[in-house]
Amino acid sequence: MEIFGVALTLISLILAYQAWQNGKLMKQMHVESMAMIKSIKELNEAIKEDIRISSQETRMLMEKISQETRVLMEKSSQETGALMEKMSQETRVLIEKLSQETRILMEKISQEMRTSLEKSSEETKALLERMERSSEEMRAFMEKSSAETMALLNRMERSSEEMRALLERIHKGQEEARKEMANAIKYIAELIVADGERTRQLLRSRG
Task: Please tell me whether the overall predicted TM-score, pTM, comes out greater than 0.95 for this model.
Answer: no
Digit-coded pLDDT (tens) for 95-124: 777 778 777 877 777 777 677 656 655 666
- Is residue 1's pLDDT more than 60? no
Going by pLDDT thresholds of 50, 70 and 90, the confidence category of residue 55 is low
Sign of the CA dihedral with 113 first, then 117, 119, and 120 last: positive
Q: Which helix (H) or strand (E) holds 36?
A: helix 2-119
CA–CA separation, 113 vs 135, rounded Å? 11
Where does 2-206 sit in CATH, by number? Answer: 1.10.287
**How many CA atoms does the CB half-sphere of 173 hold within 13 Å?**
7
Q: Where are the domains of the chain?
A: 2-206
- The backbone region for 120, taken as left when phi is positive above 0, alpha when psi lies in -120 to 50, beta otherwise, is beta
Residue type, 159: S
CA–CA separation, 100 vs 182, rounded Å? 61
